[in-house]
A and B are shown apart, each in its own frame.
Chain A
Amino acid sequence: MSEGGPKPSSSVKLVLLGEAAVGKSSLVLRFVNDDFQENKEPTIGAAFLTQKCNLPNRTIKFEIWDTAGQERFASLAPMYYRNAQSALVVYDLTKASSLTKAKHWVAELQRQASPGIVIALVGNKLDLTTQSTGLEGSMGGLSLSAAANSGADGDDDEEEEDARQVTTAEAKGYAEEEGLLFYETSAKTGHNVSEVFTAIANAIPESTLKTRGGPGTGRGGAGGSSGDTFGGTGGVNLSAAGETNKDACAC
């Protein structure tokens, strides 16, 4: 928009994926309402929330699709991640199997989602480990900006006696290999939660952001040809009555 006016604002579609009960909805609740609920009921289908994220030079409005983690909803995920510019893949760092599931999601996104999608891998429930406060030096290092993910963090995974089952090094190594943003968070204490979203906002390439001049505009080009991509392989038939993916981004 014009110089000197309000900061440009763009919408970014973000999808949360991950095994049941890893804390996806809790992360969103913390980010959107700065709140936490114990024993949250499982999500059915998906929840939709929005939250603004202020960056120095722009405002990002996250349109968050918080999907259900239960296995029976897994086949619906493509409907949510189509045209998403970002994804948050969550695992529970006190449950090793949840990282395996997270890896599956990452692979599926890389295969079928928009080519430029920004993916963040998030290990949640940090409060259940001995480093729950997140004030220790090594954990502090993790909350640095996302771009700094490359720097190895040293040995911060000596805690064997607590509930942690996934070491930071293991998850982080995987994230680096796959080119993902990586964070360990606690939705309960709020540790690192807003940092994840800010990092995603920063990582979205500016070229895919379209300034939202008014209703009807403002969807990024990150969609690419994703509709076709997963329409073919994911068993999603979106081409009913010849109206092939009219809503899929064709930029």
Chain B
Amino acid sequence: MQHLELPPWCGNGWGLRLVEDDDHFYDAMTGDESKAPSPEKQGNNNTNGLSSSPPDEQTHTEKLKLDELKDAAPEIPFPLDKLREWLIAFVVCDFNVDLGPEIEWIYPYAPFSPADLTTICFNSFPDRNNPDDLTTDTSFHFRFRHNSTDIKVPASDLVPHPEYWFGYCLFRQQRDETVKRKYGQKSFVVISQYDFTTLFRDQMLAKTLPLLDFGASAALMESACAQVANWPSPRPGEMELPFFGSIFNLHIPLHASYPLQGLVRKESVKQNHPIDIFALDPVGSWKQVVEYLPNVGDLYIIYERVLLCEPLVALSLDPRVCSEFVSLAFDLIRPIPFAGDYRPYITMHSDIFSQSHGGATTNHYLIGVTNPFILKRLQTPPIKKPLLQSFSLKEAPYVVHLTEPIRKNGSLHRRSKSTHREESSFDVVSQEPKGYMSRDWEFLKQLDEMCRADGSPAEVSRLVRRHFAYLTARFLAPLDRYFAQLITPASAIDPFEYGCFSETEFLQNLSKYGSGVEFKGKTNFQRNKMEEAFYKKFCRSPSFFSWLQMKMELASRSQMAG
């Protein structure tokens, strides 16, 4: 619940101040709600909250800002619907030591629901801080299910799940003698309906908008929006997008599930222009993940979990690392669209725990966290909330520990799993899943050598993405073959033919012709059993249905195209 105070100018494009009240005053690290302030203190906070904006209490700069806004931005000087074709708003969040995160600006003003504002506020700040590094900016992104029905966003074929929005954050800390604890913290966030992390996070925020000063200036946000509103509407293909003196060459694929987009690129890095951006490329690099993993072979476990849409959680100290992991893992199984709920970064306040989520897909998720207590919450939900009862039946997630390796004498020393256990002071029942597929030792050796030889992040990512794209293709081959038999050429254009799938028939087909994927097992019999078990699992997983749905959609699209 928030106290929203709408200054007189907020309807004119400039946002509002949001102050959180007591509901969110439990300790974010421990999730312990009993640490909430006493009622008297809450009362105090509320008073503070409500009076956070009267002009006489504002600092001089804030006053200046307001005056500037009133005079200079009487209305939004660009077509709002054009801007909304790309993004919803820029939001600046400020971390107030006494009150928690609060929204400083929303531009252009958007009537976010109180729940969405809370989500944006809390997800925009890392709930854990690297104490050794207080001055470097960090960027990360999060995804949330929104319920801001008053914000009209144009429908687009490029947005497969319009009920979700993305927040791309640039988090910055700066020494500030005027505040408690001597550090000011701000997050500059772009809210968009698109999963275009490379564009919004890597280019717009991290490189182009590292604010001219700590506070975001009104002119900066206005300029950014005016430029975006001038962009052509998003469409598949290549687009030239000017932004603050740079030109982005944005490549949008025809379909979200095309694998390996941007894998082959011209390495003309020396030139500052134009900047090629592949909209659906994962952010980050496998190099870091591989170095952070306790065991390189875990890549296969991760791959299988994502492929089968089984719960997977990445735990790291840094929201950037875990959000990048989710982005990379999501990409690993293309062309199969990940069917579960994926959250590059969540905090204790995430809507994934809230009732609005409905609990519909929560057994299938891919989540990045920095707070280990979330693991506990994912497994043992409060009994009080009846909607989450299904949790008790849930499978425990597989937890990927992403920890910076220790470098000794120039070589990497990975943290072992047992070290991780020692570090977490509580029990995380994370069963060790046995893998199904046999590892490609050639590939793992090559990967290891490349990392040791200081291969570039792009190079390592390319190797990993290629390997698993090929594996996915081989994995899907028996299914494709089966469907090719099932669907006669005459009916090939009828997408409903895909509905006649029979698991028994397919498995017979599989045992007859086999699969290009090698499964574990000492004998042929064992290998075949493993193969059958894995395919069976896949055919009963949401991934299979999302893949079928995509095939049908593509078939009907090509049908319409003639």
Query: Is there contact, CB below 8 Å, between A215 and B274?
Result: yes
Asked whether any CB of chain A lies closer than 8 Å to the CB of B510, the reply is no
In the bound assembly, the distance between CA atoms of A73 and B223 in angstroms comes to: 8
Query: Is there contact, CB below 8 Å, between B212 and A218?
Result: no
Asked whether any CB of chain A lies closer than 8 Å to the CB of B22, the reply is no
Cβ of A114 to closest chain B Cβ, rounded Å: 11
Q: Mark B193-209, 1 if CB is under 8 A from A, else 0.
A: 00000000000001110
Asked whether any CB of chain A lies closer than 8 Å to the CB of B99, the reply is no
Cβ of A168 to closest chain B Cβ, rounded Å: 32
Q: Which residues of A contact B247 (CB under 8 A)?
A: 48, 63
In the bound assembly, the distance between CA atoms of A127 and B468 in angstroms comes to: 67
Binds B, one of A39-47, A174-182, A199-207: A39-47
Asked whether any CB of chain B lies closer than 8 Å to the CB of A249, the reply is yes
Query: Is there contact, CB below 8 Å, between B244 and A76?
Result: yes
Query: Is there contact, CB below 8 Å, between A79 and B208?
Result: yes
Nearest A residue to B72 via CB reads A72
Q: Mark A201-241, 1 if CB is under 8 A from B, else 0.
A: 00000000010001111110001000000000001111111
Cβ of A234 to closest chain B Cβ, rounded Å: 9
Query: Is there contact, CB below 8 Å, between B207 and A73?
Result: no
Q: Which residues of B contact A73 (CB under 8 A)?
A: 219, 223
Query: Is there contact, CB below 8 Å, between A76 and B219?
Result: yes
Of A48, A79, A239, A240, the contact of B230 (CB 8 Å cutoff): A48
- A237 and B271 in contact, given A45-B227, A80-B245 (Cβ under 8 angstroms): no
Q: Which residues of B contact A9 (CB under 8 A)?
A: none
Query: Is there contact, CB below 8 Å, between A247 and B230?
Result: no
Asked whether any CB of chain A lies closer than 8 Å to the CB of B213, the reply is yes
Cβ of A183 to closest chain B Cβ, rounded Å: 24
Nearest B residue to A49 via CB reads B242
Q: Mark B44-78, 1 if CB is under 8 A from A, else 0.
A: 00000000000000000000000010001000011
Asked whether any CB of chain A lies closer than 8 Å to the CB of B331, the reply is no
Query: Is there contact, CB below 8 Å, between A239 and B276?
Result: no
Q: Which residues of A contact B223 (CB under 8 A)?
A: 44-46, 68, 73, 76
Query: Is there contact, CB below 8 Å, between B207 and A76?
Result: no
Query: Is there contact, CB below 8 Å, between B272 and A248?
Result: yes
Q: Mark B515-549, 1 if CB is under 8 A from A, else 0.
A: 00000000000000000000000000000000000
Which residues 218-259 in B have Cβ within 8 Å of A in the complex? 218-220, 222-227, 230, 242, 244-247, 249
Query: Is there contact, CB below 8 Å, between A48 and B242?
Result: yes
Query: Is there contact, CB below 8 Å, between B245 and A83?
Result: yes
Q: Mark B127-150, 1 if CB is under 8 A from A, else 0.
A: 000000000111100000000000
Asked whether any CB of chain A lies closer than 8 Å to the CB of B266, the reply is yes
Query: Is there contact, CB below 8 Å, between A238 and B136?
Result: no
Q: Which residues of B contact A65 (CB under 8 A)?
A: 242, 245
Asked whether any CB of chain B lies closer than 8 Å to the CB of A250, the reply is yes
Asked whether any CB of chain A lies closer than 8 Å to the CB of B270, the reply is yes
Q: Which residues of B contact A243 (CB under 8 A)?
A: 206-207
Main secondary structure of the interface of A (DSSP, over half): loop
Asked whether any CB of chain B lies closer than 8 Å to the CB of A82, the reply is yes
Of A15, A214, A249, the contact of B270 (CB 8 Å cutoff): A249
Asked whether any CB of chain A lies closer than 8 Å to the CB of B268, the reply is yes
- The size of the chain B interface, using a CB distance under 8 A, is 44
Query: Is there contact, CB below 8 Å, between B219 and A83?
Result: no
Cβ of A52 to closest chain B Cβ, rounded Å: 15
Listed residue (A46, A70, A81) with the most chain B CB atoms within 10 angstroms of its CB: A46
Of B136, B217, B218, B226, the contact of A242 (CB 8 Å cutoff): B136
Of A45, A70, A210, the contact of B72 (CB 8 Å cutoff): A70
Q: Which residues of A contact B271 (CB under 8 A)?
A: 210, 216-219, 249, 251
Asked whether any CB of chain B lies closer than 8 Å to the CB of A26, the reply is no
- A240 and B170 in contact, given A44-B77, A46-B227, A76-B219 (Cβ under 8 angstroms): yes
In the bound assembly, the distance between CA atoms of A36 and B271 in angstroms comes to: 35
Asked whether any CB of chain A lies closer than 8 Å to the CB of B114, the reply is no
Query: Is there contact, CB below 8 Å, between B139 and A241?
Result: yes
Q: Which residues of A contact B226 (CB under 8 A)?
A: 44-45
In the bound assembly, the distance between CA atoms of A116 and B193 in angstroms comes to: 42
Nearest B residue to A226 via CB reads B272
Q: Which residues of B contact A250 (CB under 8 A)?
A: 270
Listed residue (A84, A248, A250) with the most chain B CB atoms within 10 angstroms of its CB: A250
In the bound assembly, the distance between CA atoms of A248 and B274 in angstroms comes to: 11
Query: Is there contact, CB below 8 Å, between A239 and B272?
Result: no
Query: Is there contact, CB below 8 Å, between A247 and B220?
Result: no
Of B139, B207, B276, the contact of A246 (CB 8 Å cutoff): B207
Q: Which residues of B contact A240 (CB under 8 A)?
A: 137, 139, 170, 206-207, 210
Listed residue (B138, B224, B227) with the most chain A CB atoms within 10 angstroms of its CB: B227
Asked whether any CB of chain A lies closer than 8 Å to the CB of B273, the reply is yes
In the bound assembly, the distance between CA atoms of A201 and B72 in angstroms comes to: 36
Query: Is there contact, CB below 8 Å, between B244 and A216?
Result: no
Q: Which residues of A contact B222 (CB under 8 A)?
A: 44-45
In the bound assembly, the distance between CA atoms of A44 and B75 in angstroms comes to: 12
Asked whether any CB of chain A lies closer than 8 Å to the CB of B492, the reply is no
Query: Is there contact, CB below 8 Å, between A247 and B272?
Result: yes
Asked whether any CB of chain B lies closer than 8 Å to the CB of A11, the reply is yes
In the bound assembly, the distance between CA atoms of A236 and B210 in angstroms comes to: 8
Asked whether any CB of chain B lies closer than 8 Å to the CB of A2, the reply is no
Asked whether any CB of chain B lies closer than 8 Å to the CB of A75, the reply is yes
Cβ of A113 to closest chain B Cβ, rounded Å: 11
In the bound assembly, the distance between CA atoms of A48 and B273 in angstroms comes to: 15
Q: Which residues of B contact A239 (CB under 8 A)?
A: 210
- A44 and B210 in contact, given A216-B276, A241-B137 (Cβ under 8 angstroms): no
Q: Which residues of A contact B211 (CB under 8 A)?
A: 237
Cβ of A207 to closest chain B Cβ, rounded Å: 15
Q: Which residues of B contact A235 (CB under 8 A)?
A: 212-213
Q: Which residues of B contact A82 (CB under 8 A)?
A: 245
Query: Is there contact, CB below 8 Å, between B219 and A75?
Result: yes
Which residues 2-37 in A have Cβ within 8 Å of B in the complex? 11, 13, 15
Can you name 15 A-B pairs with beta carbons within 8 Å? A44-B223, A45-B219, A48-B242, A73-B223, A76-B212, A76-B220, A80-B244, A215-B249, A216-B274, A218-B273, A219-B272, A241-B139, A241-B206, A247-B275, A251-B270
Q: Ordered nearest first, which 3 A-B pairs have the shortest CB separation?
A: A45-B223, A48-B242, A240-B210
Residue positions of A touching B, CB distance < 8 A? 11, 13, 15, 41, 44-48, 63, 65, 68, 70, 72-73, 75-76, 79-84, 210, 214-219, 223, 235-243, 246-251
Residue positions of B touching A, CB distance < 8 A? 68, 72, 77-78, 136-139, 170, 206-208, 210-213, 217-220, 222-227, 230, 242, 244-247, 249, 266, 268-276, 320
Name 9 extra pairs, CB < 8 A, besides A210-B271, A243-B206, A247-B272. A13-B273, A46-B227, A46-B244, A83-B272, A216-B274, A219-B271, A237-B210, A238-B207, A240-B210
